[in-house]
Structure 1
Amino acid sequence: MSLSRIVMRLARNPGTEFAGGDDHRGYSLTAPLTADGLLDEAAYAKARDACTVRRFAPDEDPVDGRLARKGQRWFFDYDEGDSADDEPVYRLGDHRFAVGEYVTITDEDGRPLTYKVVEVQPAA
């Protein structure tokens, strides 16, 4: 089983302060993918501890967390003991992680924002 490093950067989000997008805001995700670029649920179950996420933005320190799953709901978890910090990802299990694809993540303020996949590489 191999892991992939997926980088997503903030895409254009009309009606927000990020109407033009922001290449300096985003997420770096480490997760197993199928040949089709979908999250590999079976491999995730075996490598859950290696599935990490880092949120980055120019005006804040990077925040490290993990990819987590409850039932069919995937999310980014930054503190295992506190569900208030979880960032839900809209239909993450259905998203194809390939350069140019888009992913919607609900930020810490409860706003759904769109991110563009800009990089998918084998994790080091």
Structure 2
Amino acid sequence: MTYQDVFVEFWGQVKESVAAGAFAKLTMAKTIGKPELKNIFLRPIYDKDDFRVMLKYSFRPREVEDIEEEMTLDEAFIILKSHLKSSFLSVILFTTIKDVTFKVNKKGVGSITESSPTFKNVVQA
């Protein structure tokens, strides 16, 4: 199974956490090299009829302003997927139920691990 297939499986857990109202945050981490882009974060925006996320690009030089964009979960998936293995090697999903980590190793193999939740409550963007 390719890392892309494992990421799609991981993304299924992201969608499940949104449906359960448990999605707290998502972080892309473990940069490759020393790029200007340090992290990408997703924060939830729960609305009565709609769910959106605030996607934030965080940059290493402090002089560069962070960029924030509001979008759908599907739009965020496309952006995050494009940064996998080119800029970042891991994605961490924080929910109020559990934390789920997706990693790509040096051979390009993806894996998913779960741990106890970091967040007790959902804080909206």
The two structures have a TM-score, normalised by structure 1, of 0.41
Higher helix share: 2
The two structures have a TM-score, normalised by structure 2, of 0.41
